[in-house]
Structure 1
């Protein structure tokens, strides 16, 4: 059990289990993009640990870039998506893989997919560490999913509670 600010969290997914799953995801991505040099676009801030570890398991040539969006305050989604930091890379004709820490309501991902789609990439796929099917308000096709989880708030491994807890090597669930 750990405490972050005013909330208690219990262990949920340990570090070894995360790394085992990333190896499988990296192998799948390598197989699917072997001769395509995809551009992986990490969604900041939450995906930084996931993306950093995931690329270690991808054996084909890749490029990496980042964008930043926000739709959370505390433990709940605000329902508003704000693009904070834009993308400076040409996407036309490229194979793009969006790397997200968690897809829950689908609101942020829907907006990202719409915006990136206007840049005419050859293809867009989504890889997410965590997916909350029960929370989806917009259907999102996540080609690569680390773990499907229940609709409970989680922290650690890049995910935060009011900016804290991102540095934890495992994932904790709100008690």
Structure 2
């Protein structure tokens, strides 16, 4: 799927596939340096982080294991409900592990704040966060994020794993959705 396939649903491309790839290369370099000599467990947050986690993991040179967690504070709408539910828990014991949570986007920070506290309570040696996108102006709680791909404006974005009502995740870029799509 590309921009032409979206027709009038795409307002604009915010980040190109090339920009995302270049930034993931840089983030992988930072992560490799920070975790040199240590084993790293990447914890992807489903479903949005699938693209970020796959592409980031392939760029890393340090040994990694991967696990997935699904938590939800969204419905089919465009804003967080603030109520977190675990839909799929980890299969891995975190005791003594160095954990890097991989996110697609951080907006309010509510879900991530909850997730961070939850994973730290499981006995991990360290828990840090990497995200492709962050909306600083949308933050409702302060969450320390060690690796940030891009700070973006408070707009509803899709693509590269991000969806609206489960659509548009397979776009290779991040774009803004035309208001007519979600304003009925």
Classify the TM-score, shorter chain. Answer: over 0.9
Partner of 1:55: 57
1:10 is displaced (CA, Å) by 1.4
Mapped partners of 2:92, 2:50: distance in 1:
18
* Structure with the larger strand share: 1
Deviation sequence 1:67-87 (CA, Å, 0-9, x none): 001112221212211111011
Q: What SS class does the counterpart of residue 159 from structure 1 fall into?
A: coil
1:174 is displaced (CA, Å) by 3.1
Mapped partners of 1:140, 1:2: distance in 2:
37
Contact kept? 2:29, 2:60, Cα under 8 Å: yes
Partner of 1:124: 127
Q: Taking structure 2 as the reference length, what is the TM-score of the superposition?
A: 0.90
Partner of 1:162: 165
**2:38 corresponds to which of 24, 29, 36:** 36
Structure 1 unaligned blocks of 5 or more: none
Aligned length: 175
1:1-175 → structure 2 map (5 Å cutoff): 7-73=9-75, 74-175=77-178
1:57 is displaced (CA, Å) by 1.1
1:7 is displaced (CA, Å) by 5.0
Contact kept? 1:2, 1:9, Cα under 8 Å: no
Deviation sequence 1:98-151 (CA, Å, 0-9, x none): 000001000110110111111011101000000000001010111000000011
- Runs of at least 4 residues of structure 1 off by over 2 A? 1-4, 6-9
Contact kept? 2:10, 2:175, Cα under 8 Å: no
Contact kept? 2:159, 2:173, Cα under 8 Å: yes
* Structure with the larger helix share: 2
